[in-house]
Protein backbone atom coordinates (compact mmCIF):
# COMPACT_ATOMS: atom_id res chain seq x y z
CA UNK A 1 0.00 0.00 0.00
CA UNK A 2 1.37 3.42 -0.86
CA UNK A 3 2.16 5.63 2.12
CA UNK A 4 0.12 8.61 3.21
CA UNK A 5 1.63 11.97 2.18
CA UNK A 6 1.19 15.18 4.16
CA UNK A 7 0.63 18.42 2.31
CA UNK A 8 1.14 21.45 4.54
CA UNK A 9 -0.46 24.63 3.22
CA UNK A 10 1.24 27.51 5.00
CA UNK A 11 -0.89 30.63 4.65
CA UNK A 12 1.91 32.84 6.10
CA UNK A 13 0.77 36.49 6.23
CA UNK A 14 -0.43 36.60 2.62
CA UNK A 15 -3.34 38.96 2.11
CA UNK A 16 -5.04 36.19 0.13
CA UNK A 17 -5.71 34.56 3.52
CA UNK A 18 -6.93 37.46 5.63
CA UNK A 19 -10.07 36.94 7.72
CA UNK A 20 -12.84 34.95 6.04
CA UNK A 21 -10.56 34.11 3.13
CA UNK A 22 -8.45 31.89 5.38
CA UNK A 23 -11.56 30.15 6.66
CA UNK A 24 -12.78 29.60 3.10
CA UNK A 25 -9.42 28.16 2.11
CA UNK A 26 -9.60 25.65 4.98
CA UNK A 27 -13.17 24.72 3.98
CA UNK A 28 -11.98 24.25 0.42
CA UNK A 29 -9.08 22.02 1.51
CA UNK A 30 -11.49 19.94 3.60
CA UNK A 31 -13.76 19.47 0.59
CA UNK A 32 -11.07 18.06 -1.72
CA UNK A 33 -11.27 14.27 -2.09
CA UNK A 34 -7.50 13.89 -1.79
CA UNK A 35 -7.03 10.14 -1.44
CA UNK A 36 -3.61 9.26 -0.08
CA UNK A 37 -3.01 12.80 1.20
CA UNK A 38 -3.59 14.53 4.51
CA UNK A 39 -3.84 18.29 4.24
CA UNK A 40 -2.57 20.47 7.06
CA UNK A 41 -3.54 24.15 6.89
CA UNK A 42 -1.51 26.75 8.81
CA UNK A 43 -3.67 29.89 8.93
CA UNK A 44 -2.70 33.17 10.59
CA UNK A 45 -3.17 33.29 14.39
CA UNK A 46 -6.02 35.82 14.11
CA UNK A 47 -8.39 33.26 12.52
CA UNK A 48 -7.11 29.97 13.94
CA UNK A 49 -10.17 29.25 16.00
CA UNK A 50 -12.62 29.72 13.12
CA UNK A 51 -10.36 27.70 10.84
CA UNK A 52 -10.31 24.78 13.29
CA UNK A 53 -14.12 24.73 13.19
CA UNK A 54 -14.05 24.64 9.39
CA UNK A 55 -11.59 21.77 9.10
CA UNK A 56 -12.60 18.14 8.87
CA UNK A 57 -12.30 15.17 6.59
CA UNK A 58 -8.64 14.73 5.79
CA UNK A 59 -7.76 18.30 6.79
CA UNK A 60 -6.20 19.47 10.05
CA UNK A 61 -5.22 22.90 11.32
CA UNK A 62 -1.77 23.70 12.70
CA UNK A 63 -0.47 27.04 13.97
CA UNK A 64 2.35 28.84 12.19
CA UNK A 65 4.18 29.27 15.49
CA UNK A 66 3.84 29.55 19.27
CA UNK A 67 5.86 31.38 21.88
CA UNK A 68 8.13 29.46 24.21
CA UNK A 69 6.42 30.59 27.41
CA UNK A 70 4.23 28.98 30.04
CA UNK A 71 0.75 30.37 30.62
CA UNK A 72 1.01 33.50 32.77
CA UNK A 73 2.41 36.99 32.76
CA UNK A 74 3.35 37.33 29.07
CA UNK A 75 1.57 40.07 27.16
CA UNK A 76 1.20 39.44 23.45
CA UNK A 77 2.35 35.83 23.56
CA UNK A 78 0.65 32.72 22.22
CA UNK A 79 1.10 29.64 24.38
CA UNK A 80 0.84 26.02 23.34
CA UNK A 81 -1.96 25.68 25.88
CA UNK A 82 -3.98 28.34 24.06
CA UNK A 83 -3.54 26.46 20.79
CA UNK A 84 -4.55 23.18 22.37
CA UNK A 85 -7.64 24.75 23.97
CA UNK A 86 -9.07 25.79 20.59
CA UNK A 87 -8.47 22.43 18.93
CA UNK A 88 -5.29 23.13 16.98
CA UNK A 89 -3.49 19.82 16.35
CA UNK A 90 0.08 20.97 15.93
CA UNK A 91 2.41 23.76 14.90
CA UNK A 92 5.38 24.82 12.83
CA UNK A 93 8.48 25.46 14.91
CA UNK A 94 11.46 27.58 13.85
CA UNK A 95 10.22 28.38 10.35
CA UNK A 96 12.92 30.01 8.25
CA UNK A 97 10.99 33.28 8.37
CA UNK A 98 10.48 33.06 12.15
CA UNK A 99 13.61 31.53 13.64
CA UNK A 100 13.95 30.94 17.38
CA UNK A 101 16.78 29.88 19.69
CA UNK A 102 17.74 26.27 20.34
CA UNK A 103 16.48 26.56 23.94
CA UNK A 104 13.12 27.82 22.70
CA UNK A 105 12.95 24.89 20.26
CA UNK A 106 13.56 22.43 23.11
CA UNK A 107 10.94 24.13 25.28
CA UNK A 108 8.31 23.97 22.53
CA UNK A 109 9.04 20.35 21.57
CA UNK A 110 8.92 19.11 25.16
CA UNK A 111 5.78 20.96 26.06
CA UNK A 112 3.98 20.22 22.78
CA UNK A 113 4.78 16.54 23.29
CA UNK A 114 3.16 16.60 26.73
CA UNK A 115 0.09 18.35 25.32
CA UNK A 116 -0.22 15.95 22.40
CA UNK A 117 0.48 18.62 19.77
CA UNK A 118 2.42 17.60 16.67
CA UNK A 119 5.55 19.61 15.85
CA UNK A 120 7.01 20.35 12.42
CA UNK A 121 10.53 21.53 13.14
CA UNK A 122 11.94 23.51 10.23
CA UNK A 123 15.55 23.20 9.15
CA UNK A 124 17.47 25.19 6.56
CA UNK A 125 20.35 22.86 5.85
CA UNK A 126 21.26 19.20 6.14
CA UNK A 127 23.22 19.56 9.34
CA UNK A 128 20.14 21.06 10.99
CA UNK A 129 18.04 18.23 9.57
CA UNK A 130 20.38 15.75 11.27
CA UNK A 131 20.54 17.66 14.56
CA UNK A 132 16.80 18.41 14.71
CA UNK A 133 15.65 14.87 13.90
CA UNK A 134 17.46 13.62 17.01
CA UNK A 135 15.13 15.88 19.05
CA UNK A 136 12.27 13.67 17.85
CA UNK A 137 9.73 16.20 16.63
CA UNK A 138 6.76 14.76 14.75
CA UNK A 139 8.44 15.89 11.52
CA UNK A 140 11.49 17.76 10.31
CA UNK A 141 10.80 20.08 7.37
CA UNK A 142 13.72 21.01 5.16
CA UNK A 143 13.32 24.20 3.13
CA UNK A 144 16.33 25.71 1.34
CA UNK A 145 15.79 29.42 2.17
CA UNK A 146 16.93 30.67 -1.25
CA UNK A 147 14.12 28.71 -2.96
CA UNK A 148 11.30 29.82 -0.64
CA UNK A 149 8.72 31.92 -2.47
CA UNK A 150 10.13 31.14 -5.91
CA UNK A 151 8.83 29.11 -8.84
CA UNK A 152 11.73 26.64 -8.83
CA UNK A 153 10.94 23.79 -6.50
CA UNK A 154 13.28 22.01 -4.14
CA UNK A 155 12.37 18.70 -5.79
CA UNK A 156 13.48 19.91 -9.22
CA UNK A 157 16.42 22.16 -8.23
CA UNK A 158 17.84 20.04 -5.44
CA UNK A 159 16.42 16.51 -5.59
CA UNK A 160 19.54 15.08 -3.97
CA UNK A 161 18.98 17.08 -0.78
CA UNK A 162 15.60 15.42 -0.33
CA UNK A 163 17.16 11.99 -0.58
CA UNK A 164 20.00 13.12 1.73
CA UNK A 165 17.48 14.58 4.18
CA UNK A 166 15.51 11.34 4.31
CA UNK A 167 18.76 9.53 5.03
CA UNK A 168 19.81 12.07 7.69
CA UNK A 169 16.50 11.66 9.52
CA UNK A 170 16.92 7.91 9.40
CA UNK A 171 13.31 7.17 10.35
CA UNK A 172 13.52 9.04 13.68
CA UNK A 173 10.62 11.23 12.57
CA UNK A 174 8.86 12.17 9.34
CA UNK A 175 10.81 14.10 6.73
CA UNK A 176 9.04 16.84 4.77
CA UNK A 177 10.42 19.13 2.07
CA UNK A 178 9.37 22.59 0.95
CA UNK A 179 10.23 25.69 -1.07
CA UNK A 180 8.86 26.47 -4.51
CA UNK A 181 6.62 23.38 -4.55
CA UNK A 182 3.84 24.10 -7.02
CA UNK A 183 2.80 21.01 -8.96
CA UNK A 184 1.71 17.42 -8.82
CA UNK A 185 5.08 16.48 -10.35
CA UNK A 186 6.83 18.08 -7.37
CA UNK A 187 4.72 15.98 -5.01
CA UNK A 188 5.37 12.79 -6.92
CA UNK A 189 9.10 13.48 -7.12
CA UNK A 190 9.30 14.26 -3.37
CA UNK A 191 7.46 11.05 -2.59
CA UNK A 192 9.74 9.02 -4.84
CA UNK A 193 12.77 10.50 -3.11
CA UNK A 194 11.37 9.27 0.22
CA UNK A 195 9.76 12.38 1.69
CA UNK A 196 6.56 11.97 3.71
CA UNK A 197 5.17 15.27 2.53
CA UNK A 198 5.67 18.81 1.32
CA UNK A 199 5.06 22.39 2.41
CA UNK A 200 3.46 24.85 0.01
CA UNK A 201 2.80 28.56 0.47
CA UNK A 202 3.17 31.01 -2.41
CA UNK A 203 1.82 28.76 -5.17
CA UNK A 204 -1.43 28.30 -3.22
CA UNK A 205 -1.62 31.93 -2.16
CA UNK A 206 -1.14 33.18 -5.73
CA UNK A 207 -3.48 30.69 -7.40
CA UNK A 208 -6.44 32.65 -8.75
CA UNK A 209 -8.56 29.51 -8.70
CA UNK A 210 -7.63 27.77 -5.46
CA UNK A 211 -10.02 24.89 -5.97
CA UNK A 212 -8.50 24.11 -9.35
CA UNK A 213 -5.01 24.37 -7.87
CA UNK A 214 -5.76 21.85 -5.10
CA UNK A 215 -7.61 19.49 -7.41
CA UNK A 216 -4.78 19.51 -9.96
CA UNK A 217 -2.32 18.90 -7.15
CA UNK A 218 -4.15 16.20 -5.25
CA UNK A 219 -6.99 14.56 -7.11
143 is catalytic: yes
Q: Does 83 bind ligand G3P (CB under 6 A)?
A: no
81 is catalytic: no
Taking contact as CB under 6 A, which single stretch among the options 18-26, 30-38, 159-167, 177-185 is the one that binds ligand G3P? Answer: 177-185
Q: Write down the least CB distance from residue 70 to ligand G3P, Å.
A: 27
Indicate which single residue of 43, 137, 180, 197 sits in contact with ligand G3P (rule: CB under 6 A). Answer: 180
Q: Write down the least CB distance from residue 16 to ligand G3P, Å.
A: 12
Q: Does 149 bind ligand G3P (CB under 6 A)?
A: yes
Out of 95, 97, 128, 185, which one is annotated catalytic? 95
3-state secondary structure the chain: CCCCEEEEEECCCCHHHCCHHHHHHHHHHHHCCCCCEEEEEECCHHHHHHHHHHCECCEEEEECCCCCCCCCCCCCCCCHHHHHHCCCCEEEECCCCCCCCHHHHHHHHHHHHHHCCEEEEEECCHHHHHHHHCCCCCEEEECCHHHCCCCCCHHHHCHHHHHHHHHHHCCCCEEEEECCCCCHHHHHHHHHCCCCEEEECHHHHHCCCHHHHHHHHHC
Indicate which single residue of 7, 201, 217, 218 sits in contact with ligand G3P (rule: CB under 6 A). Answer: 201
Q: Does 178 bind ligand G3P (CB under 6 A)?
A: yes
> Which chain residues interact with ligand G3P by CB under 6 A?
10, 95, 143, 148-149, 178-181, 199-203
| Active-site residue set | 95, 143
Amino acid sequence: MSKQMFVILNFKAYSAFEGARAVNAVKLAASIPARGYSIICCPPASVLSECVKSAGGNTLVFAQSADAVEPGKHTGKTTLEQLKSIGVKGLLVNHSENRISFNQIIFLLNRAGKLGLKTVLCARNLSEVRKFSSLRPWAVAFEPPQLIGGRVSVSSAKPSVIADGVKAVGGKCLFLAGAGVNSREDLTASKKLGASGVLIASAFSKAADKKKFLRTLLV
